[in-house]
Amino acid sequence: MPRAVTRRFADAVTGPRGRWVTIVAWLAIAVAGFVGRSHIDDVTAAGQSSFLPSNAESTRALDVLQHSQSSGEEVPVVLVFNREGGLTETDLAAIGRIGKGLDALRITGATPIIDPFSAGSTESLGGIAKIADGIGPISRDGEAALVVLAINAADRGAIVSGVQIIRSYLAEHERPGLNAYVTGPGGIAADLEQVANEAGKTLLIATLSLVLILLLLVYRAPLLAVLPLLAVGAAYMVAIGIAYLLIEAGAITVNTEGTFLLLVLVFGAGTDYSLLLVHRYREEMQRGRPVAEALPVALAESMPAIAASGGTVIAAMLVLLVADLQSTHWLGPILAIGIAVMLVAAFTLLPALLSALGERAFWPAAGSAKRVGHSRWTRVAALVRRRSRAIVFLVFGGLIVLALGNLTHHGTIGFGQGETQPTNSSRGTAVLGDHFPPGIGSPLTAVVRVEDLGPVVEAMEKLPTVKVALPVPPTGGDGSGDDGSMVVVVLKGDPYSGEAAHAVAGIRERLHEVSPSGLLGGIPAENYDIERTNAHDTKLIVPLVLLVVGLILAAVLRALVAPAYLILTVVASFAATLGLCTFAFSIFDSEGIAFDLVLLSFLFLVALGVDYNIFLMARAREESALRGTREGTMVALVNTGGVVTGAGLILAGTFATLTLLPLEELVQIGATVAIGVLLDTFVVRALLIPAITYRLGERTWWPSRVVASDAGASSDAEPQ
């Protein structure tokens, strides 16, 4: 954008009339966004099957069952009762009455509950325990019993409300010494949603508090700390409001994780953009410009770098549209919208607020006249001059050592795992595993032709990972193969574990040998399909993001050499961060690594890491025209070191707030991105990149040239 255009825009936004029009307009749309945010939990998607591509085998299995049985997406809910020392006949009678009572409530979307514990049962299941290897309503040790139903997940909110009704009914009919839990996929999904709702409030409060504290430490001026927070908060409300409208209209599908990541990204990146604008504002005031002139000049001068930075992040996020996994596919546009809205707020609302307050924004410090000391970064620049070669070798060597942690063997967190605080469903799952085959809580379902039922059951029971296989005759159809005939396959191990997901590969292979048209579904199969789809997406997205970011860097810096080593350093920093964190998560006995940790941490660290590189290298190119590349790089390091380090601390802090949540997947993503940002800010961007640039000198800008003045050119002699 031409400088004259940016200056006219800056004058309009910060002018006596324009600033108030801007503030009022933002207030109105932020209030509308707040209304949307209050309903966002009602429209975010729950259940991982909705995020799998339609061609995934587990999705096709579910589609066949829904079509053949004329039912929706039925999610099992398992009620587990246990008494230490053994259930009594009175207990069993009471459990039977509870089952009948729940059935009479007619819970929305729920299947009828069959009572196997009383003589009035229309279909006795008591004999199953004898013929199905311990699979039945009463455990072999007599200490636990099960009541099972299913709830149609196609009814929005039916699982959460249904599980709440069940738990309330159990509380009203509690028996001394008889423990009752609601688990299975339905109970787990309800608890995850409840945990997510509570976590959302915690995340918002923690992020606001942390950013405010860090801004106060940076500025030492209360109003100057609050103004960026107001701009970022308004941008977040507008972004989440847009997300709500798009989800409600059915244009996109987003899960709760996506809304959490939107929050931390907007607050982290938005605060960074605010810091850069305010820093330039201070610089202009320190040069003696009056407030009325300093702000529009600062806005006009900082817009290109901030726009390039935000544009890089937006472009990287939009690459996610090529993903097959829908939770990843739609995450890109939501995050891109958040950054775009934040850029608009940084160029309009924040300058308007600063203009309205004038010099009072710097109270009680004389911020307009006080020059921030650069002694610390002057010493860093001197170190880079003296030891540039050693810094390059030592830092790269350290990054390679840390990257070795990626060789650590680890499992993967799937649905039903990853809660860091106990819930009713997690305790129920533990009881279920103690008294029944663990796989009973979430079995696999093999959809086969009716004539293949016998051979499939026989083949499944011979597999070492399978506890028992039970045939379920079709409820309708013509036996043509897509009639919903299925075999329930109960695994020996925890059905939610990474090991169970990996066992699916062998089970599927054997199923297809016996029944070529067979389809394997269920939660473990969905976990496996999600891992495979995500792995495919990662292999596709990583090189595309690097290509997009590299092209943007080449355009911004008008060079090829600098973008090449900037990309190399970002990738090395990411590999080191991931290796360190993977090793740490394995040491701390985590259930596994989040399936999307590699992709999401790569996306954030590359996009946001390049942000800081743009700030440093754009300033270095500007200074190189005056002093030569080597001296210009040192001047750029001194001038940008403080503000970029402060921005890095705030960005790392916002992502670190994810570690406060009781969801292991978000804890891992937050910790990895926070550590990666700190590594990039204090080591890669502060030492490695300046050292490489210093070594290369004018070759940095090849094939273009930066013509330096005679005074500065002499400083570009080959370093020793």
The two three-digit tokens of residue 309, written as one number: 């930075």
In this structure, the answer to whether residues 366 and 230 fall within a common structural domain is yes
In this structure, the answer to whether residues 105 and 158 fall within a common structural domain is yes
User: 20 vs 16, 230, 294, 347, 655, CA distance in Å?
Assistant: 7, 15, 19, 14, 33
In this structure, the answer to whether residues 366 and 382 fall within a common structural domain is no
* CATH number for position 474: 3.30.70.60
Q: Which of 528, 548, 567 is the last residue of a domain?
A: 528
Residue 473 per-residue DSSP state: -
Residue 450 per-residue DSSP state: G
In this structure, the answer to whether residues 268 and 242 fall within a common structural domain is yes
Alpha carbon distance 266, 339 (integer Å) = 6
What pLDDT does 395 receive?
A: 95
Q: Which of 477, 507, 528 is the last residue of a domain?
A: 528
Alpha carbon distance 152, 639 (integer Å) = 60
CB atoms within 10 A of CB 63: 17
What pLDDT does 372 receive?
A: 46
What pLDDT does 484 receive?
A: 61
What pLDDT does 349 receive?
A: 93
* CATH number for position 28: 1.20.1640.10
Does some domain include residue 587?
yes
Alpha carbon distance 76, 111 (integer Å) = 9
Alpha carbon distance 201, 155 (integer Å) = 26
Residues in CB range of 440: below 8 A, 6 or more apart:
78, 135, 146, 432, 490
pLDDT digits (tens, 9 = 90+) for 657-700: 988 888 888 889 999 999 999 999 999 999 999 999 999 999 99
Does some domain include residue 56?
no
3-class SS of residue 663: strand
Alpha carbon distance 285, 271 (integer Å) = 21
Does some domain include residue 394?
yes
The two three-digit tokens of residue 9, written as one number: 């825009």
In this structure, the answer to whether residues 705 and 570 fall within a common structural domain is yes
Does some domain include residue 690?
yes
Alpha carbon distance 553, 567 (integer Å) = 9
Does some domain include residue 610?
yes
The pTM of this model reads 0.84
What pLDDT does 440 receive?
A: 82
In this structure, the answer to whether residues 173 and 312 fall within a common structural domain is no
Measured N-to-C along each axis, helices 158-172 and 184-219 cross at an angle, to the nearest 10 degrees, of 110
CB atoms within 10 A of CB 90: 10
The two three-digit tokens of residue 674, written as one number: 């926070």
At 2, give phi and psi (nearest 5°): -60, 145
Range of the domain at 25: 1-38+220-372
Residues in CB range of 359: below 8 A, 6 or more apart:
291, 368
Domain count, the chain: 4
Rama region for 184: left / alpha / beta (φ>0; ψ in -120 to 50; rest): left
Residues in CB range of 499: below 8 A, 6 or more apart:
411, 493
What pLDDT does 367 receive?
A: 44
Alpha carbon distance 530, 48 (integer Å) = 8
In this structure, the answer to whether residues 562 and 696 fall within a common structural domain is yes
CB atoms within 10 A of CB 496: 25
Which amino acid, 607?
Answer: A
509 CB-contact burial (10 Å; exposed 0-12 / middle 13-18 / buried 19+):
exposed
In this structure, the answer to whether residues 589 and 694 fall within a common structural domain is yes
Does some domain include residue 45?
no
In this structure, the answer to whether residues 581 and 681 fall within a common structural domain is yes
In this structure, the answer to whether residues 118 and 34 fall within a common structural domain is no
In this structure, the answer to whether residues 389 and 361 fall within a common structural domain is no
As a whole number of Å, the CA-based R_g of the chain is: 30
What pLDDT does 247 receive?
A: 85
Q: Which of 482, 512, 528 is the last residue of a domain?
A: 528
Helical spans, DSSP H, in 558-663: 561-587, 597-627, 629-656
At 403, give phi and psi (nearest 5°): -65, -20
What pLDDT does 480 receive?
A: 42
Q: Do 626 and 636 form a contact (C-beta atoms < 8 A)?
A: no
What pLDDT does 425 receive?
A: 87
**Nearest residue to 307 (alpha-carbon basis) of 547, 1, 18:** 1
In three state form, how does the secondary structure of 74-95 look?
A: EEEEEEEEECCCCCCHHHHHHH
Does some domain include residue 472?
yes
In this structure, the answer to whether residues 455 and 516 fall within a common structural domain is yes
Dihedral sign for Cα atoms in the order 362, 363, 367, 372:
negative
Which ranges of the chain have pLDDT less than 70? 1-3, 43-50, 68-73, 114-136, 154, 156, 365-374, 414-420, 473-484, 589-591, 707-720
